[in-house]
Structure 1
Amino acid sequence: MRKMSDVVFVSAVRTPMGSFGGTMKDLQVYDMGAFPVREALKRAQVDGADVDEAIIGNCRQAGNHVNPGRTVALKGGCGQLTPGVTINKACPAGMKAATMAVSQIVMEQAKIVLCGGMESMSTIPYLLKGARFGGFKMGDRKLEDGWGDSYDPIAKVSMGMTAENVGEKYGISRQEMDEYAVRSHQRAQAAADNGWFAEEITPVTLPGDRKKPAFDFTADESIKADSTVATLSKLRPAFKPEGGKVTAGNSCGLTDGSAMMVAMTREAAAARGVKPLFSMVDFCQTAVDGTFMGEGPGEAIPRVLQRAGMSLSDIDLFEINEAFAAQVLGNVARLKLDIDKLNVNGGAIALGHPTGCSGARIMVTLYHALKRLDKELGVASICGGGGATMAVILKRES
């Protein structure tokens, strides 16, 4: 059995984040995800036939046909003999895929693993429950939005209400939420303007039609650089009409996107002449009460640091997925986190949160931020619907 330090990641890329109903709205999730798969394999200098397994997060699977994790691997260039698996762990799915890749290599079940996540929020279908055996001789039938899958049947609460709960618990004001949302957009726009996202983004080629030729989609389209606290303060509460603080403006955007990585043994990287980008020091998966789903990182981060024998002060940068400003700020308060180290290029409030993609996306973004700022250690953490949560410690390789 190998050690975790024997495993390295040799590529880390993502698509641009497409707005809900935007540029990538008509792409099947596995067609979109095939672009970063191809680029991840290219950067890793790996022939698709040499990939031992593909482990891919994808949560909104209705309409995506059989095992989209294997489908995207094949469409991206992996060989017919490459097994693939689709992971659904709500928001941490893409991160779970990465930790499973490491575990497979540590257990000597594989030497080279493609991992990551993908989600097309725009193609979540409507559902006609009961139609198959209910018949349509007379009467009305209810068409249900597939977005209802974001409801937690155990906690009996929507994700937005969990954010209200966390915000209330930690005394986060509406102004603080709106200020944080503006910060996310401003930091993401600065990253885009300065080319800091350029290395992590691979273009998605959109097919042409009679009206326009094929073109490359190259930049995140959900960033709202003109957001201000004044404009956000005018938005109504989205989930709690009376006294609510969580709005569409201080919540994550709904976007389409994919992020992919290739992990392999150090020996395989050396044999191929491929430079390791980062390794995974340790990881942690745990859970919290789904009613306070967003508290997950506040539980997972101390646990993963304890496992690694580290403290918060040892970490150079943090990426906490921005499902809601209330949730991020609640974790900042709980951990007494230095906010200047957090989400230095903005987060999901600006870039959006394609569910199965985000756990992988924040790892990709974290690595590239560590590289740009010449830092060594970073923590990425993400909460998830139902209370599942994860955190990983990444070490940039010298």
Structure 2
Amino acid sequence: MSEIEIPYGAYWSTPFARWQGSLSHLHSLKFAAHVAKDALKRRQVDPESFDFAALGMSVPQKGSFYGLPWLAGEMGIPHLAGPTISQACATGVRLLQTVASTIREGDSQVALAIACDRISNGPHIYYPAPQGPGGTGDHENWVLDSFNWDPYTGVNMVTTAENVAKEYGFTTEEQNELTLIRYAQYENALKDDSAFLRRFMDLPFSVPDARFRKEQTVLSGDEGIFPTTREGLAKLKPVMEGGTVTFGGQTHPADGNAGIVLTNADQAKALSRDPGIKVSIVSFGQARVKAAHMPAATIPAARRALQAANLTVNDLTAIKTHNPFAVNDLVLAKELGLSLESFNDYGCSLVWGHPQSPMGLRAVIELIEMLAIKGGGHGLFVGCAAGDSAMAIVIKVEDRA
């Protein structure tokens, strides 16, 4: 099986902004194209070198039916075609698997995985129903209704976390403790003028107006992250009566985009910021667990990715997770035998937010940089998604021989 590489440094992420914040006025697909053009120029990657691309997008916006071809046209590379992929919070990993498979099959040599979402101002959709009473149609709020109701199980996402908390006996106090650890880890990313974030994020970040003609504001980093204290968390009551999950122990919706270049081994050196660092995609894993237990899906997904890589959790140098709930990390740590402090250094989606499609790409980018800082090794990213499912990816960072 041919090796798929991510050229070191050939990736980027915008800051993530809490919904209804500084990115809420931007069409996410146009914004992603705007950011990608500048990011590729800064990284000295010629857009004409791409022969394939795929777009991840889970919240539709006007015109998004045209997906990747429209985005490519906006980037100035109208020869490029490819699919638009949507798998809720697993979109980022699915996107990487799709692009990697295309390269492995010989249909591409240099490709782009790009993902965007604007959770703010989500669409309100009307569905005609001629057989309904008086021909009255049906409707939904794409974002809020998806958070609040799984049409298969009939429950909201908080209930899935409560079900796992109940099964494992996790208390609010344990969730609060985990949350404090994660916020402290994110503080490491902000040290030395956000040195860690600057490894992949172009800061200060210029936010354009809706017509992309002038600068509207400037972000120094992620927006909308509130100070979190033990005392503040202790004052919060569970969201559900008789439950354990508070607003302090769950992530927040956000807006943003991210991109990663993938290629074969022959091309990777030329596209890398540091040709001496080799970043390889090793394996993927997918899983689905029993109904209404979404946070637990990460466990079998992680195990399948590790099995495919012929690794154990003890072989890993770094781990990143998508944790919409503190419960996610509690259950993963318990099942895989991890200490809570041993993974998610420099931050995670519990802290910096949840723009569904690009969230996984940013986590993988951070995982690459964590491994580079540690001198290499294998890393795992795993995250749950709607439908009690999850996806995982194993990557390896090493010195290029």
Would you call these one fold, judging by a TM-score over 0.5? yes
Does residue 149 (structure 1) correspond to residue 151 (structure 2)? The answer is no
Return the alpha-carbon distance in structure 1 between the equivalents of residues 382 and 225 of structure 2.
22
Aligned 8 A contact 2:128 2:138 in 1: no
Does residue 192 (structure 1) correspond to residue 190 (structure 2)? The answer is yes
In structure 2, the residue corresponding to 1:122 is in which secondary structure? coil
Aligned positions of 1:58-73 closer than 5 A: 58-63=57-62, 65-73=64-72
| Range with bigger deviation, 299-308 or 368-377 | 368-377
Does residue 41 (structure 1) correspond to residue 40 (structure 2)? The answer is yes
The residue identity in structure 2 corresponding to 1:310 is L
TM-score by length of 1: 0.89
Does residue 324 (structure 1) correspond to residue 335 (structure 2)? The answer is no
Return the alpha-carbon distance in structure 2 between the equivalents of residues 257 and 129 of structure 1.
28
Pairwise CA distance, 1:229 = 2.3
Pairwise CA distance, 1:298 = 0.7
Return the alpha-carbon distance in structure 1 between the equivalents of residues 372 and 394 of structure 2.
15
The residue identity in structure 2 corresponding to 1:125 is P
The residue identity in structure 2 corresponding to 1:85 is P
The one of 194, 204, 209 aligned to 1:207: 209
Return the alpha-carbon distance in structure 1 between the equivalents of residues 63 and 179 of structure 2.
32
Pairwise CA distance, 1:343 = 0.5
TM-score by length of 2: 0.88
Q: Over residues 341-361 of structure 1, what are the superposed CA-to-partner deviations in whole Å (9 max), with x where a residue is unaligned?
A: 210012112100111111211
> Aligned pairs, how many?
388
Aligned 8 A contact 1:279 1:395 in 2: yes
Aligned to 1:259: 258
Aligned positions of 1:79-158 closer than 5 A: 79-130=77-128, 144-146=140-142, 147-150=144-147, 151-158=149-156
For residues 247 and 100 of structure 1, do their structure 2 counterparts lie closer, same or farther at Cα, with a shift above 3 Å needed? Answer: same
| Range with bigger deviation, 193-202 or 92-101 | 193-202
Pairwise CA distance, 1:227 = 0.8
Question: Which residues of structure 2 form unaligned runs of 5+?
Answer: none
For residues 129 and 45 of structure 1, do their structure 2 counterparts lie closer, same or farther at Cα, with a shift above 3 Å needed? Answer: same
Aligned 8 A contact 2:4 2:100 in 1: no
Aligned to 1:311: 312
Return the alpha-carbon distance in structure 1 between the equivalents of residues 72 and 251 of structure 2.
28
Does residue 74 (structure 1) correspond to residue 73 (structure 2)? The answer is yes
The residue identity in structure 1 corresponding to 2:22 is T
Aligned positions of 1:378-393 closer than 5 A: 378-393=379-394
Return the alpha-carbon distance in structure 1 between the equivalents of residues 330 and 67 of structure 2.
34
Aligned 8 A contact 1:58 1:94 in 2: no
Pairwise CA distance, 1:364 = 0.9
Return the alpha-carbon distance in structure 2 between the equivalents of residues 123 and 192 of structure 1.
29
Return the alpha-carbon distance in structure 2 between the equivalents of residues 51 and 94 of structure 1.
19
Pairwise CA distance, 1:72 = 2.9
Pairwise CA distance, 1:15 = 0.4
Q: Over residues 188-235 of structure 1, what are the superposed CA-to-partner deviations in whole Å (9 max), with x where a residue is unaligned?
A: 1331233211122133432299xx9633334101322x2112212222
Return the alpha-carbon distance in structure 2 between the equivalents of residues 349 and 60 of structure 1.
20
The residue identity in structure 2 corresponding to 1:397 is E
Does residue 18 (structure 1) correspond to residue 17 (structure 2)? The answer is yes
Pairwise CA distance, 1:76 = 3.2
Question: Which residues of structure 1 form unaligned runs of 5+?
Answer: none
The residue identity in structure 1 corresponding to 2:341 is D
Aligned 8 A contact 2:12 2:39 in 1: yes
Return the alpha-carbon distance in structure 2 between the equivalents of residues 92 and 131 of structure 1.
31
Aligned to 2:355: 354
Return the alpha-carbon distance in structure 2 between the equivalents of residues 290 and 73 of structure 1.
38
| Range with bigger deviation, 119-128 or 171-180 | 119-128
Aligned 8 A contact 2:23 2:207 in 1: no
Return the alpha-carbon distance in structure 2 between the equivalents of residues 207 and 124 of structure 1.
19
The residue identity in structure 1 corresponding to 2:184 is Q
Pairwise CA distance, 1:170 = 1.4
In structure 2, the residue corresponding to 1:214 is in which secondary structure? strand
For residues 128 and 62 of structure 1, do their structure 2 counterparts lie closer, same or farther at Cα, with a shift above 3 Å needed? Answer: same
Superposition RMSD in Å: 2.6
For residues 108 and 125 of structure 1, do their structure 2 counterparts lie closer, same or farther at Cα, with a shift above 3 Å needed? Answer: same
